[in-house]
Amino acid sequence: MRTAQRARAVTPVPFCVCVPARNESQRLPVLLDALAAQTIAGRIPVALCINNSDDDSVAVVEQVARHHAERLVILVDACTLPPPLAHAGGARGRAMEMGYRHVRSAAGGNGVLISTDADCRPPAEWISANLAAIGAGAGIVGGRIMLDDAEPIHPAIARMRDRFDLYWAAVRAIEDASDPSPHDPPPRHGDHTGASIAIDAGLYRAIGGVPSIASGEDQSMVIAAVAAGGRLVHPPSVWTRVSARTDGRAAGGMAIAMAELAATMDRGVVPYVPAFEHWHARALWRRATRTAYGVAEMLAQEAELPPMPADMPLPASPPEHDVSRLRVAAPTLS
């Protein structure tokens, strides 16, 4: 059995890692090996929803479970979801519900659910860092997404990822200057996707779990958690590696985005993104609307706003001006 090189930290609260998987027999062993190598002490519970698969995922997981029997407690829900539920929301929801039942049986519902994906390879401190953030008062924790350099990465994807990292860092600087969050201060990243989300089990139950939608179920769960009063944080200590593959399983998932990104760059086309002035205006609007009506109403109104115009070429270098000092008109409340 592979063990972590460092001394394992004491487990502060019950938790469960929750994973949806479809035809992932080649990638699940990589994920499970990485979970077995975590620094946290004790056996690690993993809830796997292996859905609508026609490969040997179940047999592979059984073999890995035997290999890591002293380290991993692997719960498997092998199922065929009906067409209306055979999507990312349905599969992630089943995995999270299985994880919630495990946590509830261990601690009466008090604990933490940690979502990830079958093509991830988390670093050894991933679980400990998530639990530390929850223990410090967060209700929901987003993990930064890094491309896994252990696998081939399309050169165009790598270049574009670097440019997007610069862009989003500038957007966060605008938000931190114009609408700072007392519980999510800089330095912070901005990711909160199904590849790495930890959520307090009580908060998860209060919002009704994962929305059963074909795509975007992770973002919808985060929005619901924040609307219910959960503190969303993005500590740099929480991150994971994800595959840069372009043959993913989920409709509207990251792999499709990667394929589109590579094709765009191969054609020599630079994508357009919302100019920084739009993000500044949005940050001011959020602050004013939240102050006037509360966070839940602000999020509800924001969902009805039209998309920001993509009117600026994606920058190839950091902005030359201080984007946190942008000036726009005062927001108008509805």
Instruction: Give the per-residue pLDDT at 158.
Output: 87
Instruction: Give the per-residue pLDDT at 251.
Output: 58
Ranges assigned E (strand) in 2-150: 15-21, 44-51, 72-79, 112-115, 120-121, 140-142, 144-147
Model confidence at 259: pLDDT above 80: no
Instruction: Give the per-residue pLDDT at 150.
Output: 92
- 320 — pLDDT class (breaks 50, 70, 90): confident
CB-count burial class (<10 Å; 0-12, 13-18, 19+) for 11 = middle
Model confidence at 5: pLDDT above 80: no
Averaged pLDDT for residues 259-282: 86
- 9 — pLDDT class (breaks 50, 70, 90): low
pLDDT digits (tens, 9 = 90+) for 24-69: 999 999 999 999 999 999 999 999 999 999 999 999 999 999 999 9
For the chain, the structural domain boundaries read 15-143+191-230, 155-181+254-334
Query: Measured between alpha carbons, how far is 160 from 60 in angstroms, rounded to an integer?
Result: 35
Model confidence at 4: pLDDT above 60: no
Instruction: Give the per-residue pLDDT at 248.
Output: 60
Whether residue 311 contacts residue 279, with contact meaning beta carbons closer than 8 Å, is answered with: no
pLDDT digits (tens, 9 = 90+) for 182-226: 999 999 999 999 999 999 999 999 999 999 999 999 999 999 999
Higher confidence at residue 123 or residue 110? Answer: 123
Higher confidence at residue 120 or residue 10? Answer: 120
Ranges assigned E (strand) in the chain: 15-21, 44-51, 72-79, 112-115, 120-121, 140-142, 144-147, 197-200, 232-233, 239-242, 272-273, 312-313
pLDDT digits (tens, 9 = 90+) for 61-116: 999 999 999 999 999 999 999 999 999 999 999 999 999 999 999 877 789 999 99
Instruction: Give the per-residue pLDDT at 255.
Output: 66
Q: What percent of the chain has pLDDT over 70?
A: 88
Instruction: Give the per-residue pLDDT at 1.
Output: 32
15-143+191-230 sits in which CATH class? alpha beta
Query: Measured between alpha carbons, how far is 98 from 63 in angstroms, rounded to an integer?
Result: 21
